[in-house]
Chain A
């Protein structure tokens, strides 16, 4: 590959003519007329490229998306079309002891689909400490005999406020409580967690995780 040559081969058909043409324009016209000569191409090119990138491109993506990945393109909804019970990608709020709890959510109300938000509390903010202490107290209140350390994802808010998942460690921490509340053998709950544990994609992308909504739905399905 040769470098762009001094004659401006890059984007010009006939460099000599261009050079002369440009010089004539620069010499024979004022700045004002030069501006006028530039306004129309600027406006028209802007409009044409707006059409290409703002209409043709998103519509083309939409057509392919709706044809090839119809469920994914429409929010990955679960449940029958008349009665959707959620999206498999968006977390829901669970506060009853008989369900696995997800990440604390900073949105109002919790897991507000149209109002995703993090807490944006700094590590040094006393309000963060108060919130974490409160969450620890709530977890202990529904599971007083559990002496294990609480996994960090159960007491910290997610970035989106809609995090659908918890770590397998956080699910396992709650297994005893679920088994007791539902009168199930602990092994069955542990097995269910294992079934719903997704390992990193290709073995290394992302983190191991458990989808809280799916896990709770399959808990309900056990009966």
Chain B
């Protein structure tokens, strides 16, 4: 890593943190229904949407009703994405004349996008028509993100309300998240991306005559290249802002037409963490104590920054076996150096590793470099960030409600230590909350580990592996960690577009999304019924550095206890192998 990369990463954190308060405050106003600056334009649109949908915005919902609304809304999304893909051959906006997507792949992609995972078993430019991308994927990018934000806001209401059964109106929360937050941000980002060279058109791929001839797969000379087109920028903007991550093109944001310049790269990686970080401030504002929000953000950074540093170190050292061959991988002001297999020159090691950490800390999953070709420890970092449960930033909304569940566990453990009834923000944490919190924390690791065990037990699971030794196991573990935590990032060598993986991963993605939201909403409903207890001498303050460490410690402890054995078989074993084999 050279000086440019170090400065870029430092500037990234400065700009991200500077945007937390303004955006966080804006979102708080949106959810409170107070003027946020865009009301004059958007309020009539919002009212029209309710009228067309027959929604009564002022009717409140119990947690059960909220959950049913959320499930039905997402079910329609899932069915629509499936149906559009299966019918795309008959529908317009298909200049490449792509046929129907196979049933297992269509189901996998539908669950993937409805669950905000955006696992890519498909390759956009050769599988999906423009209509499928727009009406299927782009829509779900918005709506799955808005669903996560809605559930977060409902959970916050559970904390702030007293002695009521209702936690808000799902239709209103999802509409406001989309209309006031995700749409304006996406529009601005999409235009900025087009200015850098991201395509936004509806024509077919364009044939160009290349300067020299090369040979095709059969050894015949060819002198043409096809430049893909499509409504890419509009989808890429929301793919980043909504922590979705599903690319327009197969290689995602490594593709030069999806992420052409260092500036487009910087804007995209910033967009990955922007909303999850700012929601921490929104949370603090809505509960009436912004220190509570900063505390959560500090806990996230406390886990994120050391793991980022580990990744940067591992990728900068590079592949010792290449050094043995006499390859120059030293960083200088004229080359990035380090491990460049599967990385783009314009990004180099620094911007690629920053992205890999951001995209897996947040449940985004887009890539600008191929994680499969990272060094063993460089690949461990994104894998571990997913395995921690997608609560270090996490998905928009879902990351923060996940971390709030960990906060409940943290006050419970602290309560056990001092022998007091635990409380969080004035709400007593009792048996019901703890049972639900345990469900939320245990479901994803169970899916990941059981799914990995299942995959390595079947020929179909093992046959997909493309790298020998411990790395092959890492490929499977990474895929399940990604699907089981709704991330969507991949060790892309694993051959996953087959019935076995399309089905297994679809089940994993579905379970870890919707079976978590239900207990989260149940806690919200339970907390809303309770009255606020006054702060006493026995109350553990949850805005202190002590709590930052306690919370981060519990997240890391739960993740480490669950996954260290599996990691030892994969990346850690591979790291030892890399060191020993490279010795002279």
**Do they bind each other?**
yes
CB <8 Å contact, B342 and A120: yes
The CA of A13 and the CA of B125, in the complex, are separated in Å by 47
The CA of A114 and the CA of B350, in the complex, are separated in Å by 28
CB <8 Å contact, A5 and B160: yes
At the interface, yes or no: A188 with Cβ under 8 Å from chain B?
A: no
For chain A, the bracket of interface size reads 35 or more
Complex interface: chain A residues within 8 A of B205 (CB): 113-114
At the interface, yes or no: B411 with Cβ under 8 Å from chain A?
A: no
Residues facing B in A54-70 (CB within 8 A) are 54-55, 57-58, 60-62, 64-66, 68-69
At the interface, yes or no: A11 with Cβ under 8 Å from chain B?
A: yes
Stretch from B99-107, B214-222, B441-449, B451-459 forming part of the interface with A: B214-222
Cβ proximity bits A5-33 to B, threshold 8 Å, 1 near / 0 not: 11111111111011101110010000000
The CA of A35 and the CA of B183, in the complex, are separated in Å by 30
At the interface, yes or no: B359 with Cβ under 8 Å from chain A?
A: no
The CA of A123 and the CA of B377, in the complex, are separated in Å by 11
Residues facing A in B465-506 (CB within 8 A) are 466-471, 474, 491-493
Cβ proximity bits B181-224 to A, threshold 8 Å, 1 near / 0 not: 00100110011001111111111011111111011110000100
CB <8 Å contact, A204 and B341: no
At the interface, yes or no: A213 with Cβ under 8 Å from chain B?
A: yes
CB <8 Å contact, B322 and A75: no
Instruction: Give the interface centre of A58, A68, A88 by most chain B CB atoms within 10 Å.
Output: A58
Q: Which of B8, B318, B370 contacts A206 (CB 8 A)?
A: B8
Complex interface: chain B residues within 8 A of A195 (CB): none
At the interface, yes or no: B395 with Cβ under 8 Å from chain A?
A: no
CB <8 Å contact, A201 and B209: no
For chain B, the bracket of interface size reads 35 or more
CB <8 Å contact, B467 and A69: no
Least distance between B65 CB and chain A CB atoms (Å): 7
Known interface pairs A35-B68, A96-B212, A123-B376. Does A65 touch B233 (Cβ–Cβ under 8 Å)? yes
The CA of A85 and the CA of B207, in the complex, are separated in Å by 9
Least distance between B42 CB and chain A CB atoms (Å): 11
Known interface pairs A21-B59, A125-B471, A149-B328. Does A103 touch B80 (Cβ–Cβ under 8 Å)? no
CB <8 Å contact, B4 and A200: yes
Known interface pairs A19-B164, A108-B217. Does A122 touch B467 (Cβ–Cβ under 8 Å)? yes
Known interface pairs A204-B7, A207-B348. Does A61 touch B322 (Cβ–Cβ under 8 Å)? no
At the interface, yes or no: A223 with Cβ under 8 Å from chain B?
A: no
CB <8 Å contact, B344 and A159: yes
The CA of A75 and the CA of B69, in the complex, are separated in Å by 42
Among residues of B, the one whose C-beta sits closest to the C-beta of A173 is B328
At the interface, yes or no: A217 with Cβ under 8 Å from chain B?
A: yes
Q: Which of A48, A84, A93, A207 contacts B206 (CB 8 A)?
A: A84
Least distance between A127 CB and chain B CB atoms (Å): 8
Complex interface: chain B residues within 8 A of A166 (CB): 345
Residues facing B in A98-125 (CB within 8 A) are 99, 103, 108-125
The CA of A209 and the CA of B256, in the complex, are separated in Å by 14
The CA of A174 and the CA of B23, in the complex, are separated in Å by 48
At the interface, yes or no: B260 with Cβ under 8 Å from chain A?
A: yes
CB <8 Å contact, B60 and A3: no
Stretch from B171-179, B546-554, B558-566 forming part of the interface with A: B171-179
Instruction: Give the interface centre of A22, A96, A110, A159 by most chain B CB atoms within 10 Å.
Output: A159
Among residues of A, the one whose C-beta sits closest to the C-beta of B349 is A207
CB <8 Å contact, B139 and A50: yes
At the interface, yes or no: A95 with Cβ under 8 Å from chain B?
A: yes
The CA of A53 and the CA of B374, in the complex, are separated in Å by 36
CB <8 Å contact, B373 and A123: yes
Least distance between B49 CB and chain A CB atoms (Å): 5
Least distance between A43 CB and chain B CB atoms (Å): 6
Known interface pairs A69-B195, A207-B335, A213-B211. Does A8 touch B60 (Cβ–Cβ under 8 Å)? yes
**Interchain residue pairs A-B with the least CB separation, the first 8:** A206-B262, A120-B493, A3-B288, A159-B254, A167-B335, A149-B328, A118-B370, A207-B348
What 4 new A-B contacts, CB under 8 Å, besides A121-B373, A136-B327?
Answer: A11-B33, A92-B212, A123-B374, A160-B255
